[in-house]
Structure 1
Amino acid sequence: MSGCEPGESVGAFLCQAGQVLRAAAVEAPRLEARLLLAHAMGCRQEDLLRDPRAPVGPEAQQRFRAALSARARHVPMAHLIGSAGFWTLDLLSDPSTLIPRADTETLVELALDTFPDRSSVTRLLDLGTGTGALLLACLAEFPGAFGVGVDRNPRAAALARANAARNGLADRAALLAGDWADALSGRFDLILSNPPYIESSSIPGLMPEVALHEPALALDGGADGLDAYRALASALPRLLAAGGKAVLELGQGQQAPVEAIMRGAGLRPLGCREDLGGVPRALLLGAC
C-alpha cells in the first residue's frame, strides 16, 4: 500500500488492497477489501460502491493499512473488525473464543424444529459457550427461557456476558467460567454444545486463520477428537429434564463414534441434521 497517498480515492485503495489480499491467498479478496475499508472509514460497504472517487482521510488510511497488513497475515476478519454475525445476532469476537460460524447455525435450526412450541423451553444450557452464540441465538427464539452458558476460559465467559448485554439478553442469561458441567445442578429442557472436536495432530494443518489465530482450547478434541464428547456424555443424563433434548455439534465423520459414546452413557440418538455442505453437523439426543 506504499503507493497510496493521503487523499487518494476509495477505488484506488480497494484496487490495491484486493491485489495484496489476492497475493496472500485470501479468499474473496475484493469483498474483504471492502469490509476492511468500510470498517476503517466507519461507513457501509454500499457507501464505498456508491462513490469510489471519494477521498480516504489520513486516519482512515492508517487504520486500513494496519488492518490490511494483519489480514494478509491471515488474522481473521472478525478479529480485525471486532464482531461477527450469527443467526439474528451481532456478536463481539476476539482471540479468546472461536469465531461463530454459519455451520453452527444448524444446531439452532434443529433445536427450533425439535421444540415448535416455543413456550415449552424454559431452561437452556450451553456447554463451552465461547461468544455465547448458541445460547443467545436460542434465547432470542425461546422468549420465555432463561439460559446458562459455561466456558472454561474466563475471558470467553466475560465476552459472552458482553454479547448478552449487546443483544438485550443479559437479564435472561448467566454466563459462567467453569469446567463443563462440574458445578451445575438442576435440569434443563434444551442443552447445546459446540465442543472442541479436532484431532490434536490435525490442528497444524488447518487453514492459518484457524490454526494460528483461534484458541487451541476451543479446537483440540484430543488424540481422536472425541475427548469432549466423553465429558459431555458423563454429564448430560443428570442435566436433561424429563422430555429434554441435547443438540451437539459434530466434526466431519464423527456421527457414528459420538452416537456410540452417547448410547454407552444411556442417551438416545434421535437424528442428525446436515449443514449446507452436506456434513452431518447437529446431533439430537434424548434420554433413553
Structure 2
Amino acid sequence: MDCPIHDPLPSSAAHDDALLSDCESGVSGPDNPFLPPPAATIQTRFTSALAALGFNPQAVTAVRNASSSVMAQARAHSFQVFARAVSQLRDGDANVKSAWYAASSKDEIADILHHGFCHLHSNGLRLSPQDSPLESLKRSVVDKDGFRYLLLCRVILGKMEVVPRGSSQCRSSSQHYDSGVDDLLFPKEYVIWCNQINTHVLPEYVLSFRLHSLQGHVKIGEPIRPSSPWMPFPVLISVLSNILPPPDIAVLVKFHRDYRDRKITRDVLIQKVRLIAGDKLLCSVIKSFRAKKIPASFKSKQAEQKATGRPAVPTE
C-alpha cells in the first residue's frame, strides 16, 4: 500500500528505546506463538474495514510495537503465560483475538507502550473487534493536524459473557467467565476487566490516519468535549461526585490538578474524563447544566427564531 508516512509518536518517545519499529523483530520473536502479521497487511485490513462502512481513511500508517526494553519483553511474556493459563481453564481455547483501542493522543500511546494501561478503566477496558473498528473510531480524538490514533492489541478473551452497552458492571459475574462482549454472535465491543488489563491486553500496532466520510454515508462526529464554554471542570466534577464512586472522583480531581499544573494537556484531561464518566453520562450532565444556565427569555427567543426564521439574541 502506497501511503504517506506520519510519525505516530513524539520524536522523543520514538527515539527512546527504539520504542516503535515496523520491522519484524522485537518482543514477538520466533518463540512467540502470537506473532502478528506485517504492517502492510494491517493497513490493508483496516482500510478495507472502513471502506465497507463508507469511510475513506487517508495517510494510514501502521507501526509495529517492537520495543526491546526489559519491561516490554516482560509484558509480552506475561501475556503468553496468561494465554496458556486461560487455555487450560477453557478446554484448550484462550480465545485470543485482535482488537482496537481508541487512543486520545500520541502522549497516551507513548505512556501505554512504556508503562501499560493505567487504572482509569474502572468498568473495564472497551475495545472493538479488528473487523469492526467503528466503536473505537467514535471514541478517537482528532489532533491539531487532523490525525486519529488507534492501538491494535492482542487480547485474551477466554469465555465471554454478555455485558450490555452502558452497563456499570466492573468484573466478571462469576469465575466461569473471563471477559465481556456486547453480543456473542455479532460483537462490536469487547470488555477486559480492570484487574486483567495489563495481563490480557498486548499492544501490537499503532495506527495513525485521517478520516473522511464518503458522500451519503454516516459521519463520525467530534468526541464530546466538556470545555469551559459548556461547563467548567470544577462544576462538572462537583456534579459527577453525586453520581460516580469516590475513587473515580479522586482520579478526576487528580487529573484536573495535573491539567492546572500544566502536566497534561486539555485534550488529555477531556479524554480521561470521558473514560471515567462515559459519554452518555457526560452528555446528560452537560445538557442539564446548559439548560439551567440559559435564561427563559432566551429560550422564548429561540422558539421565536424557529417560527419566524429570525436569529435569536440573548437578553442581559
- TM-score with structure 1 setting the length: 0.29
Greater share of residues in helix: 1
Normalised to the residue count of structure 2, the TM-score between the two structures is 0.27
